[in-house]
Amino acid sequence: MSAQPLPKDEVLATTTRKLPPPEKPSDVRRRSHVILSFWLIVLLLGLPIWWRTTTIYRADLPLQDMLDWADGKACRPVFPLRISIQATSFQDQEAQNLLRLTQHALDDLNDFAGHHLRLQLSDEEQESADNGSALTIRLTPGEGTTATLDPYEPILDITYPPNTIPSPTASSSPLATYIASQLRTTFAEEQATISYLLSTNSMPSEHRPLGLSPETTESLAKRTTRSVKYAPTYHLTFSLFTSGPLPSSWDIEGAIEEYMKPVLEVLSPIHNFTIDTQVQLYASPGVQNQVLNKEDLSSFINAAEWPLSPSIGGAPTINFIVFVGNQTITNPSQESATSQSWLIPQWGTVYLLSLPDDTTHVTAATLKQPLLTFTSHLLSLTGTPESGSLPLRLSTLARIRSADLLLRASSTLGSLARLAMALPSISIPSSVADGVTKTMSHLRLACDNLGGTEGLAHARIAEAEAERAFFEKSMVGQLYFPDEHKIAVYLPLLGPVAVPLVMGLINEIKAWRKRRREKAEKGAEKKEQ
């Protein structure tokens, strides 16, 4: 080197560095193997483990089938109602002809495919219940053409003048038309209710009848919102409220036994009931007015102070309140008329009972009117139709309820499917998938047996299973990790580890490309030589 130091740049430029000795090919190969094996471990072991431990378990749901149920594509609700005709006084041929003509007339009148009345002849005398027919028509000769519903049995008594029996060859008959129109009026409410239910749920339009007038729809909507959600058991709570110290006891047990039990027994195939009663003194109502108008009624129940907590044990509670007081209710439609009770949709009934001031004990006889009111309100709270004889109303109730449950379970399935699609990060445990499978199998069974008691049972199970699947606890608390949190957890580990790995790989690829180029150059040189 020269004595005088040169500028640094020149030093760097001019110094020749020693080259390292050439590497052994085995070392180069080993380095490639090391890098390759690290990357293989990362890709084949690390990534799958990470994927497996952080992924969210989602059981397979038959999403398309579920949506089909919700859209009404999977089930076409059909209520085939068999109606027996008891025509003992007819000759066989005549009876067959009457049946054919009536069926024709019925089919002409009917505009709703889902609700289908099918007539059949019954030969034996007593068969009304066990052959599954919804109604029996008993034809008896008489003076004029009359039709009356039997109040205790599902029987329609029709009398006819003997001369109106259609001849075997006749193509039309006034009697057949009459019977058909009678049947139609009998089942008109049921038809309307079911078609209303179908129309409010997203059923395809071809199943939907168009014959509902806006007024009918409105009244049906009112009735449906009024009725309590279906449950196999209802708790009935009878409460005596009084704003003062008296009366402090009542003979509610006897009154229920006498005035309400018969109806509860009739309802027992569809619902079970448990009853409790209570007396509450010094319970002042939320409204102190002497005359209550419509707005007061909604705030009359003093929810903060009256102990009306719902019963525990799952089943819904229906409250029946007798309030001792001389308040009256004005009816806006009839100025002079006053009433004593009102129904609170999906909750119960309040009855204002006016008693002398010194009454200490309310007798069963005094409770007759309140309990009769409660009974009729109970029927409308359970959703029983308003027209027809009681047995017919109850069988209609069973059919309406099964349709309702079926539709509700279907729509729950649809909601579950949409939820599963909308939230990709929600976990779906296998119990939900089980619930969905069970729901669908019971829905299928219910759909095939609509109109019968089996259908109701299956629809009930399907609805319960669907609700359970939808409200699965572990699905409610969704796992949520914000991205910032993930970065904070992953970066400190992955950053320092990934940098040497990636740099090593890049350098190795560069070296490999360089080696290849050198090889190629050498090969070219050899060729030239």
Partner 1 sequence: MRQLFCFVLLSWISFASLLPPAFAAAADYHEQLVLRPLPLSALLASFNFRSNTSLSEFEAHNFRFFPRSLGQILQHAGTQELHLRFSLGRWDSEAWGARPWGGAREGGTGVELWAWLQAATDEEADHKWLTLTNALSGLFCASLNFIDGTRTTRPVMSFQPEGDHLNTTAADTHLLYGVLPHEVVCTENLTPFLKLLPCKGKAGIATLLDGHKLFDASWQSMAIDVKPVCPVGGECVLQIELTIDMVLDIDRSKRPRDNPIPRPPPGHELPCNTSKPYHSHDTCFPTDHQANQDWTLSQIFGRTMKGTCPLTDPTVPPVCLQVPDSRSVYHSDGVLEKKNLDRVSRCFEIKPDVDFEIVLPAPEDESAILVKPETPLLYAERSFTGHGQERGGVQTILRNPSPDTEVEFIYMESLPWFMRIYLHTMSARIQGHTTKDKSLIKEVYYRPAVDRARGTQLEVRMRVPPASTVFLTYDFEKSILRYTEYPPDANRGFDVAAAVITILSPAAYNLRTTSLLCSLPTPDFSMPYNVIIFTSTAIALAFGGMFNILVRRFVAADEGPEVGLAVLKKRIKERVGVLVQKFKGKGQKAEDKMVEVGRMVENPGVGEQT
Give the residues lining the site for partner 1 (CB under 8 A).
8-9, 12, 17-21, 23, 27, 31, 34-35, 38, 237, 245-246, 248-249, 252-253, 274-279, 281-283, 305, 307, 309, 311-313, 488-489, 492-493, 495-497, 499-501, 504, 507-508, 510-511, 514
| Nearest residue (CB) to partner 1, 170 versus 497 | 497
Is 385 in contact with 227 (CB distance < 8 Å)?
A: no
Q: For the CB of residue 282, give the shortest distance to partner 1 in the complex, in Å.
A: 4
**Spatial contact of 119 and 106, defined as CB atoms under 8 Å apart:** yes
Q: Whose Cβ is closer to partner 1: residue 187's or residue 306's?
A: 306
- Report the nearest approach of partner 1 to the CB of residue 182 (Å): 45
Q: 25 or 313, CB closer to partner 1?
A: 313
Distances (CA, A) of 301 to 82, 224, 234, 284, 286: 46, 23, 21, 9, 6
Bridge-partner residues for 94, per DSSP?
A: none
Name the residue nearer to partner 1 (CB basis): 286 or 345: 286
Q: Are the beta carbons of 386 and 377 closer than 8 angstroms?
A: no
How many Å apart are CA 366 and CA 523, to the nearest integer?
Answer: 118
- The number of beta carbons lying within 10 Å of the beta carbon of residue 61 is 19
Sign of CA dihedral 130, 131, 134, 140: negative
Q: Least separation, in Å, of the C-beta of 278 and partner 1?
A: 4
Nearer to partner 1, 164 or 248 (CB): 248
User: What are the DSSP calls for 303-331, one per residue?
Assistant: TTTS--PPPSSSS-EEEEEEEES--EEE-
Residue with smaller CB distance to partner 1, 23 or 265: 23
**CA dihedral for 155, 156, 161, 164, sign (positive or negative):** negative
**Distance between alpha carbon 494 and the CA centroid of its chain, in Å?**
48
Q: How far is the CB of 307 from partner 1 (least distance, A)?
A: 5
Q: How far is the CB of 529 from partner 1 (least distance, A)?
A: 25
What minimum distance in Å lies between the beta carbon of 22 and partner 1? 11
Q: Is 306 left (phi over 0), alpha (psi -120 to 50) or beta?
A: beta
Taking the least distance from each CB to partner 1, the nearer of 424 and 477 is: 477
DSSP letter at 162 equals: G
Strands 155-160 and 135-141: parallel
Q: How far is the CB of 508 from partner 1 (least distance, A)?
A: 7
Of 188 and 281, the one with the shorter C-beta distance to partner 1 is 281
**Do residues 201 and 411 touch, judged by C-beta distance below 8 A?**
yes
CB of 249 to partner 1, least distance (A): 6
CA-to-CA separations, 331 to 81, 179, 294, 326, in angstroms, rounded: 41, 40, 8, 16
Nearest approach, Cβ of residue 306 and partner 1 (Å): 9
Task: Pick between residue 34 and residue 423 the one whose CB is nearest to partner 1.
Answer: 34
Question: Minimal distance in Å, beta carbon 401 to partner 1?
Answer: 26
- Residue with Cβ nearer partner 1 (69 or 347): 347
Shorter beta-carbon distance to partner 1: residue 236 or 447: 236
Instruction: Output the CA torsion 93→94→96→99 (10° steps).
Output: 180
Q: How far is the CB of 104 from partner 1 (least distance, A)?
A: 55
Provide the phi-psi class of 275: left if phi over 0, else alpha when psi is between -120 and 50, else beta: beta
- Contact yes or no for 309/347 (Cβ under 8 A): no
Which is nearest to 189 in space by CA: 386, 429, 431?
Answer: 386
